[in-house]
Structure 1
């Protein structure tokens, strides 16, 4: 069952509204805008979480960011290799 909805009136620049309407596809403009707002709320929540973590532990250094990105890329390469290896073994 989907979440209950409410009707709202919003104001936005015409060019943005027209671009959103053109990209909204079969789900419609309301679903497109709701999805965009949901992503923004997630980003806002993440930014708040980062601020709390940095206040407690200090800011994340560029070196830490690069190291974590390297780990993530290596994990993706490992996963892709396992997926391809599994297909060959079948």
Structure 2
């Protein structure tokens, strides 16, 4: 069985809301995050479809630029996560 690991970054101001939703539904935080990720991905697909209807298809250059920006964002998240772990280690 193959698995895919997905990292979801959740703003701190939404964490309490997620925990409340999960507790009310009896779901683990992992399942709750997975459901939110799927919902957000579906919304993004709807947005892409709408944008292409309104403005035409995305060019290869536009797609490459978007993927490059996503890679930069992912790298920034990795840096912040590593900095947070170092800070937590120093505080302990």
- What is the TM-score normalised by the length of structure 2? 0.45
Q: Higher relative CO (CA 8 A, sep ≥ 6), structure 1 or 2?
A: 2
The alignment's TM-score, normalised by the length of structure 1, stands at: 0.46
Larger radius of gyration: 1
